[in-house]
Amino acid sequence: MIKVGLIGAGKMGISHLSILGAHPEVEIVGVSDTSKMVLDVLKQYSSFQTFTNYEEMMEEAKPQAVFVAVPTKFHAAMIKNVLLRNKHVFAEKPLSTTVEEGRELVEIAQTNNLVNQVGYHNKFIGTFQEAKVIIDNGYLGEIFHFTGESYGPLLIRAKQNNWRSNPLEGGGCLMDYASHVIDLINYVLGPIEKIKGSILKSFYSKNVEDSVFSLLELKSKISGVLSVNWSDETYRKMSTSLNIIGSKGKIICDANEFKVYFKTSDCPANYSKGWNVRHITDFTPPVNFYLRGEEYSAQVDYFIKAIQKKVPNTINNFQSAWNVDKVISLIRNSINN
């Protein structure tokens, strides 16, 4: 059994807690949060030990691994603190609010040989994984251009008073929504290196951007467009997609559906020339406990397995999340310049 503690029982924290609670190889030893109400509910109806102070939780409950799901501005200090106590860390995304802080976290985790992971769950979705396999094997030929998009109804009216709308706390569409797409592009197509220009636009928020539109260039010189808007109420929930065109074909892909067009019959064995449509049902390995999408359970399971040394700590490690932080910083700078 891996002893796990949680810091921050908000929307993501509670979701992780439930998935961890159902995991056969996890023992939840402590939960810390600053909300008295949340702690009271957990105290009364669950069997988890609760703490108002996360340091106390680590001292008393002695977890081997800690999930950090607090507002982004607290990430750097808390994650560092947890790492220095020699505990494996799963943190929510993005890793940190600044590139410098993120670098330090990557270094500490590596030096201390601790398992480190960030919650970019899209990498655990079968359709996106398939896109990567097709591209890595050259079936799309030379990649010409791509579009990475994400839309959702997170903020659809001029009324907000939480940390996501505060730039100082790591709020904003760039940090919250666009980070997912940036991470996915880095993973499927290769690292983003240059930002040719960006528009960060607010529709409803006073202090942060509600949308991000950027022209990207990858290290491989492939060009692309990033288009993200969290104020689109025509989406029931956040929806992320990739559209990639190459010399040998094209991929249109979201979390549910994978469509690929091959110009010739030079394609993988189970595909054919022309359009091929596959669905998430074709790619999804079953999980032992389902809460809100297989990928959320799969990423937690991967983290636990990495601690048990059953899988390498390569997917979504701090280094890869830090690469996203760097692109976020590049996008901000492309505005300031």
Site of interaction with another protein (CB under 8 A):
10-11, 14-15, 17-22, 35-38, 40-42, 44-48, 153-155, 159-162, 164, 234, 236-237, 239, 241, 254, 256-257, 279-282, 284, 286-292
Tokens of 312: 């390498």
Smallest gap from residue 255 Cβ to another protein (A): 8
Q: Residue 303 carries which DSSP code?
A: H
In terms of CB distance, is 81 or 284 closer to another protein? 284
Closest CA to 197 of 221, 172, 226: 226
Q: What share of the chain is helix, strand, coil (3-state, %, to 5)?
A: 40, 25, 35
Which CB sits closer to another protein, 10 or 191?
10
Least Å distance, CB 36 to another protein, is 7
Distance CA 162, CA 173 (A): 13
Where b means 16+ CB within 10 Å and e means fewer, 7-25 reads bbbbebbbbbbbbbbebee
Cβ–Cβ under 8 Å, residues 78 and 90: no
Closest by Cα among 74, 205, 180 to 128: 180
Choice between 20 and 106, CB closer to another protein: 20
Q: Report the residue number, 108 or 212, with the smaller CB distance to another protein.
A: 212
Please state the closest distance from residue 129 (CB atom) to another protein, in A: 17
Q: How far is the CB of 319 from another protein (least distance, A)?
A: 28
Residue 287: CB minimum distance to another protein, A: 6
Is 36 or 219 the residue whose CB approaches another protein more closely?
A: 36
Q: How far apart are CA 223 and CA 199, in angstroms?
A: 17
**23 versus 248: smaller Cβ distance to another protein:** 23
Residue 65 CB, nearest approach to another protein (Å): 17
